[in-house]
Structure 1
Amino acid sequence: MQYTIVTGMSGSGKTKVIRYLEDMGYFCIDNMPPMLIPKFSEMLTSVNGKFNNVAFVVDTRVGDMINELLAQIDDLKQKGYDCKLLYINADDETLVKRYKETRRMHPIENTNGLLASIRQERKMLSALYEASDYVIDTSHLTAQGLLQELKEIYASGDTKQGLEINVMAFGFKYGMPLDADLVFDVRCFPNPFYIDELKHKTGNDKEVQDYVMSFPKSVTFMEKLEDFMKFMIPLYIEEGKISLTIAIGCTGGKHRSVTMTNKLADYLKSCDYMVNVSYRDMGRE
């Protein structure tokens, strides 16, 4: 099990960080008291590997208990856990501006004002800053820039940029998928449904695949679709997309769409993308 402890300055963007980590598949808990970390780690370990990546946000909202955090991190490491400390930072001017815009109260109450509270907090966190494995300064980062920094740290090494691609086959007669980012209509290709020996098979059967791909226009379609993906997917990654759903539809969602979905999924997997395949309507009659 891998742990990431997120800490840092109030107003630096820890909430955005935890949301991005959740999108990357992390189990996240915000505002975790350090003394509860051992109990939570035992509880999460007891559920048979259900939680592989865990992130806790621990900051000065817990008061003086923040001073216990380094000891708890050392304890996790001694127990054999992979535990990293991620410190989110921003300069004083940026933090003052953000608090003025949001009008939220700073967790450190200093009678000398907001800037004094920020400086007091920075001093409280100085040991954590020095001990951190990673530091991200968000002073001049856009939301996209922050996401890119996190991807460089956490994206899986065997997939590209941590992007998850869902390729779905569906039948138009059952309605369009509402969650699709890209939809392709393959009803223009010859339908195996009208071939007696293929009617009751699916695009997962070689006979159907061979029939669908026996037409030059089917081969040309797949070549152009692969070329389109080669161009578009890096743009989605650059834009910061975490999940992409591609839907391919035929009339019933059983023959042509399943064949094309499998072909596209195989191509994307060969490009080292993380790919999930589903056949929404294949079981329907």
Structure 2
Amino acid sequence: MRFVIVTGMSGGGKSTAIHMLEDSGYYCVDNLPISLIEKFVELILVPESGITKVALGMDVRGGEAFREVPAVIDTLREKGVPVEVLFMETSDQVLVKRYKESRRLHPLANGGRIEEGIKREREILSGLKEKADYIIDTSKLLTRELRIELNRIFVENATYNNLIVTILSFGFKYGIPDDADLVFDVRFLPNPYYVEELSPQTGNDKPVQDYVKSFPECGQFIDKLEDMLTFLIPGYIKEGKYQLVIGIGCTGGQHRSVTIANELFARMYGKGNYGLKISHRDVDKARKSFVPPQA
């Protein structure tokens, strides 16, 4: 039996997660009254029910009774029920943006500011988040990436740590990413921009990749960076960090940073118990604003 409680911030992707679990064969119930949880568990644990995988969605719409959920989870675990808690997290900034774009009201805003509702919700959810077995931050996750993570945890039964690592290429001329935890400057490498046939291409194109990688210092840099991240990431996991953004920057975010970000992603993929994604923030921006270098 797998019994998963799906909860988290309103607007954080809880409903999407429940639908994905349902597609994976889970029997799903959303927003069951807190007072009925223990009775519901008794019914599904009966062998005749034929139910082996359950996902129960819960959020602050349950009112003040929602504060009782951590105690209910403790009670169920004491009775031997294998309760797993999936907490859907999202940054305040992204939540505000999602609510404004959808023109929905936050359930705890009471007609006031969205930020006030989010602040109150975080306070209510603090105890439940501490009991979470899995925390997935959807601030920068695409829907397909969320499906991969959920499949990894609840279908493949793979070992999972809450950390999601994003390798992000960018151009310094467009600013350092606000959410970058670690920033590495690769402008010390020769710039393909000044090679006529490579200028309009990007680090996603093989000729540019071959050019950048042809310099010994490129391989040395990636070797050292990979070694450092292999050392650092387990420490971040141990400390409970669930989002790590590694910024790789060059001048315009078109050639060198994209090449190195791609190579680093290829080396790190599948090597640790953490989610890994890659993003090229400025590659299209750089291509659109391309001006051939002057001879």
Q: TM-score, normalised by structure 2?
A: 0.51
Partner of 1:21: 21
Partner of 1:11: 11
Do 1:35 and 1:72's aligned partners in 2 also have CA atoms closer than 8 Å? no
Do 1:86 and 1:132's aligned partners in 2 also have CA atoms closer than 8 Å? yes
Do 1:106 and 1:114's aligned partners in 2 also have CA atoms closer than 8 Å? yes
Q: Does residue 65 of structure 2 align to residue 71 of structure 1?
A: no
Q: How far 1:12 sits from its partner (Å)?
A: 0.4
Partner of 2:82: 82
Q: Match of 1:56, as an amino acid?
A: L
Q: How far 1:21 sits from its partner (Å)?
A: 0.4
Whole-angstrom CA distance in 2 between matches of 1:110 and 1:116: 9
Whole-angstrom CA distance in 2 between matches of 1:67 and 1:137: 22
Q: Match of 2:108, as an amino acid?
A: I
Whole-angstrom CA distance in 2 between matches of 1:11 and 1:43: 30
Partner of 2:99: 99
- Pairing 1:26-175 to 2, within 5 Å after superposition: 26-46=26-46, 48-110=48-110, 112-157=112-157
The one-character-per-residue Cα deviations of 1:94-124 (angstroms, maximum 9, x if unpaired) are 1011111111121103454111111111111
The SS at the match of 2:48 is coil
Check 1:35–1:143 CA distance in 2 against 1; reply closer, same or farther (3 A cut).
same
Q: Match of 1:87, as an amino acid?
A: F
Check 1:157–1:58 CA distance in 2 against 1; reply closer, same or farther (3 A cut).
closer
Check 1:67–1:157 CA distance in 2 against 1; reply closer, same or farther (3 A cut).
closer
Whole-angstrom CA distance in 2 between matches of 1:18 and 1:112: 29
Long gaps (5+) in structure 1: 159-285
Whole-angstrom CA distance in 1 between matches of 2:14 and 2:125: 14
Do 2:43 and 2:49's aligned partners in 1 also have CA atoms closer than 8 Å? no
The one-character-per-residue Cα deviations of 1:236-276 (angstroms, maximum 9, x if unpaired) are xxxxxxxxxxxxxxxxxxxxxxxxxxxxxxxxxxxxxxxxx
Check 1:137–1:110 CA distance in 2 against 1; reply closer, same or farther (3 A cut).
same
The SS at the match of 1:54 is strand
Whole-angstrom CA distance in 1 between matches of 2:130 and 2:59: 15
Q: Match of 1:101, as an amino acid?
A: E
- Pairing 1:178-193 to 2, within 5 Å after superposition: none
The SS at the match of 2:150 is helix
The SS at the match of 1:48 is helix
Q: How far 1:46 sits from its partner (Å)?
A: 2.7
Q: Match of 2:115, as an amino acid?
A: L
Whole-angstrom CA distance in 2 between matches of 1:96 and 1:26: 31
Larger Rg: 1
Q: How far 1:152 sits from its partner (Å)?
A: 1.8
Report the count of equivalent residues.
158
Over the matched positions of the two proteins, sequence identity in percent amounts to: 44
The one-character-per-residue Cα deviations of 1:124-169 (angstroms, maximum 9, x if unpaired) are 11111112111000000000111111112112359xxxxxxxxxxx
Whole-angstrom CA distance in 2 between matches of 1:116 and 1:4: 29
Do 2:105 and 2:111's aligned partners in 1 also have CA atoms closer than 8 Å? no
The SS at the match of 1:5 is strand
Do 2:12 and 2:89's aligned partners in 1 also have CA atoms closer than 8 Å? yes
Whole-angstrom CA distance in 1 between matches of 2:114 and 2:157: 42
Q: Match of 1:68, as an amino acid?
A: E
Whole-angstrom CA distance in 1 between matches of 2:78 and 2:17: 26
Long gaps (5+) in structure 2: 159-295
Whole-angstrom CA distance in 1 between matches of 2:60 and 2:107: 7
Do 2:8 and 2:87's aligned partners in 1 also have CA atoms closer than 8 Å? yes
